[in-house]
Amino acid sequence: MRLKVTAAYNGANFVGWQRQSKGRTVQKTIEDVISVILNQPTEITASGRTDSGVSAVGQVFHFDSDISIPDLQWQKALNTQLPDDIYIKDVRSVSQDFHARFNVVSKRYDYSIQTGNYDVFSYPFVYQLNRPLDLEKMRKCAILFVGEHDFTSFNATPIEMIPYQIRTVQRLDIIDEGDKVRLIFEGKGFLRYMIRMMTQVLIEIGLGRLTQYDVIRMFELNNKEACKLNAPAQGLTLVEVRYDR
C-alpha cells in the first residue's frame, strides 16, 4: 500500500530535507523511524527538497508499506518516535500511481520579513530585516515575476543540470502584517534559490536600492551573473503542496 504523508518541521535544526553524508536531515530522520516500524530499510519520496534553514508546515512525501496499518495509527506511531522538531499532520492511503513529486499541481511558499524591531521569538522563521519597506514599489515590481518567464538570472541551478529554466509564477502577493511583511509565492515548481533570489530583489526595491528597470535588465541579461542577491533561508516556509483531486 502507498501512503501519502503531510509533515511540518523546523528547518533551523536541519541542513536541509535531502539525505546527505554529513549533517542532520529531515529525510533521513523520518526514514530511520519508518524503517524501524517496517523492520526494513525504507525510502521516502518528497514533493521536493528544502534547503538548510527552510521550514515547512505542509511538506508532502510518500512511501510504500507491506504492512496494513490504519492511517491514524501510522500518524500516531510516527509522531511518537519522531523528534519534537518534526510533526506528522496527516497520513492517508492512496493509489499506487500517486507520486508526491510528479503529481504536484502547485506549491505555496511564504517568505516572512520582520520590518519592525528585532523579535527574539520569531527569528528562526522570520528574516530580521528590521527596516521599513516601500510595499507599493515592491508590488509594482512583483508583477514582473508573475507569469511564465525564463528565470535563468534568478536561480542557482546550473544550466548544465537543468537547461530548461522557464517557470511559471502563478501568484506573488505582498501582505502588510504590521511589523512583518509576508510574500506569498505559488507555482508548480521552483528552481534552487529562485524564491529567495526574487525575494531579495524585492527587498532591494523596497529599500530603494534597485528599480524596476534593474530587474528588467536582469531578465534581459538572462545569465547566472545577472543577479547575485539571495535572501536568508530562515524567512522561507513551504506552506502547502496541492494535487489534482
Q: Nearest Cα to 3, choosing from 97, 93, 103?
A: 93
Distance, CA of 237 to CA of 121 (rounded, Å): 16
**How far is residue 171 from each of residues 30, 105, 111, 233, measured CA to CA in Å?**
31, 13, 13, 20
The H-assigned helical ranges of the chain are 26-38, 71-81, 135-142, 194-206, 212-221
Q: Nearest Cα to 112, choosing from 227, 12, 196?
A: 196
Beta bridge pairs of residue 29 = none
Distance, CA of 181 to CA of 176 (rounded, Å): 5
Distance, CA of 35 to CA of 143 (rounded, Å): 46
Q: Is 51 a catalytic residue?
A: yes
Distance, CA of 178 to CA of 27 (rounded, Å): 35
Please list, residue by residue across 184-204, b when 16 or more beta carbons sit within 10 angstroms of its beta carbon and e when fewer do: ebbbeebbebbbbbbbbbbbb
Q: Which of 51, 71, 85, 214 is catalytic?
A: 51
**How far is residue 32 from each of residues 62, 117, 148, 149, measured CA to CA in Å?**
15, 40, 39, 40
Catalytic residue set: 51
